[in-house]
Amino acid sequence: MKKNIGSVLALYPMPLTVIGSEGEDGKINWMLAGHVGIIGHDKIMVSMHKAHFSNRGIRANKILSVNLVDENLLPAADYVGSVSALKVDKSSVFAWHRGNNGAPVIEKAPLSMVCRVVDNYETETFDNFICTIESTLVAEDALTPQGKIDYGRLKPVLFEMPTYSYLKTGEVIGKCLDFAKEYKNKEEK
């Protein structure tokens, strides 16, 4: 039996990310974001409340990095999610370098996408930055021998709002389209 719990944002778990950006004053900032998305086959979306300090710089210079978080990085990532750059300078929380378009990238993140903001799907209180990906930096030990990203080894930390928790990425179940065959075989019996 299912229970109707009302209008609840329940599209979880989502990959936890740290958004790297640079303020108009040249100061590097890090912001935690769990409300993200994929647009089509080539763009990502980062939803950021307009009250965040990071939004100003991103609106001005149109670049940011999206860094996935593993369990090693989680304490520092959770920390940047707990304090506002309006009150605390978070520029030195992570060792970083510049991506190919200048966006600051976390040295120890297992995967970073260096992005350019090409649009803003603005809602009343949120900037929803639509981004193209200019380069993708991946820890070498999280790549398959064929050079593809192995999420089963990278194990991104996941986020969910309803009980405000982090979860592990679990093991690989199998390949897409392999389960369809199982369904069809059953149907044909």
Q: Which of residues 34-53 bind a second copy (CB under 8 A)?
A: 34-45, 47, 49
DSSP summary character for residue 12: -
**CB 69, CB 18: distance < 8 Å:** yes
Q: Is 4 in the site for a second copy (CB under 8 A)?
A: yes
Total binding residues for a second copy by CB under 8 A?
98
Site for a second copy in 97-116 (CB under 8 A): 100, 111-113
Backbone φ and ψ for 153, nearest 5 degrees, come out as -95, -35
Among positions 82, 145, 188, 189, the unique one binding a second copy when judged by CB under 8 A: 82
Closer by beta carbon to a second copy, 24 or else 122: 122
Residue 48's Cβ-count burial label (10 Å; 0-12, 13-18, 19+) is buried
Question: Should residue 76 be labelled a site residue for a second copy when binding is judged by CB under 8 A?
Answer: yes
Amino acid (one-letter) located at 120: N
Considering only residues 129-168, where is the footprint of a second copy by CB under 8 A?
A: 130, 132-140, 143-144, 147-152, 155-160, 162-168
45: enclosing H helix or E strand:
strand 43-49
Shortest reach from residue 12's CB to a second copy, in Å? 6
What tokens were used for 95? 């060792």
Residue from 25, 26, 95, 125 touching a second copy (CB under 8 A): that is 125
- Does residue 188 belong to the site contacting a second copy (CB under 8 A)? no
**C-alpha gyration radius of the chain:** 18
Q: How far is the CB of 104 from a second copy (least distance, A)?
A: 14
Cβ count near 51 (within 10 Å): 10
